[in-house]
Amino acid sequence: MDNNNNQPAYMYQPPYQPQTQYVQGNNATLGIQQADLYTPAEQSERRKKANILCIISLVCQFAPEVLAGIFSGIAESIDDLSSNSSFEPLTYVSSMIVFATYVASWVLMIIARVKYKESKFAKVLMWVYIGILAAGVIAIILVIAMCAYMLKDCHGF
């Protein structure tokens, strides 16, 4: 086992400091605490940067629906041409792109929330995403329950 004196170099504080603070790499915490110290020009600049992140995040959040439609259309047209049951590589790649875009939207929103805590756009976006996620999870549960119910009543159809 390791020596107890071995501490990670980047984070731990002496025990007498009740408020956890991290110096290296934690721009977020510093940003939150010093938000009021920014000059109006700096605040405007920060707002701009936060808004850019939020807009890219919004695009990424809703792009999967559009991309899914496009890829489905392409897959269907390829099937029509080749008469194959499906075009596997395309479906895998398209699924990966759709999910990567969705995850990227969350990552960008969290970066905006952490780095620019004062941004109201980022805060609203976060709760909108949480709402959409919760609605999505409920919808999936309902669809699975509905399918199970229908299959149960389906005798050999």
Partner 1 sequence: MQIIIPEFSRSPYALIVMLSVAIGYAAAIFRMRKSGVNKQTIFYTSLLSFVCTMAGSFMLAFKITSEGIGIGFSGLGAAVGMVTGVMISGIIIRDKPDIVMTSFVVSAPLMYGLAKIGCFLAGCCHGKEYYGPFAVVYSNEHAGSYFPIQLVDMVIFILLHVFALLITNKMKNKVRSIYIILGVTIPIRFALEYTRYYHDGSLIASGQVTVLIAGVLALLMIFIWKKVLKISYN
Applying CB under 8 A, which residues contact partner 1? 1-4, 6-11, 20, 22, 24-26, 28-29, 68, 71-72, 75-76, 78-79, 85-87, 91-92, 94-96, 98-99, 102-103, 106-107, 110-111, 113-114, 130, 133, 137, 140-141, 143-145, 148, 152
Q: Give alpha helix (H) positions in 19-87.
A: 27-33, 40-82
- What's the distance, Cα to Cα, between the start and end of the chain in Å? 62
Q: Which among 114, 90, 98 has a CA at the least distance from the CA of 31?
A: 114
C-alpha distances (whole Å) from 121 to each of 57, 135, 151 are: 11, 21, 44
Helix orientation angle between 40-82 and 88-115, rounded to the nearest 10 degrees: 170
130 or 135: CB nearest partner 1:
130
44 or 93: CB nearest partner 1:
93
55 or 74: CB nearest partner 1:
74
Q: How many CA within 13 A on the CB side of residue 5?
A: 0
What's the closest the beta carbon of residue 100 comes to partner 1, in angstroms?
8
152 or 155: CB nearest partner 1:
152
What's the closest the beta carbon of residue 115 comes to partner 1, in angstroms?
8
What's the closest the beta carbon of residue 8 comes to partner 1, in angstroms?
6
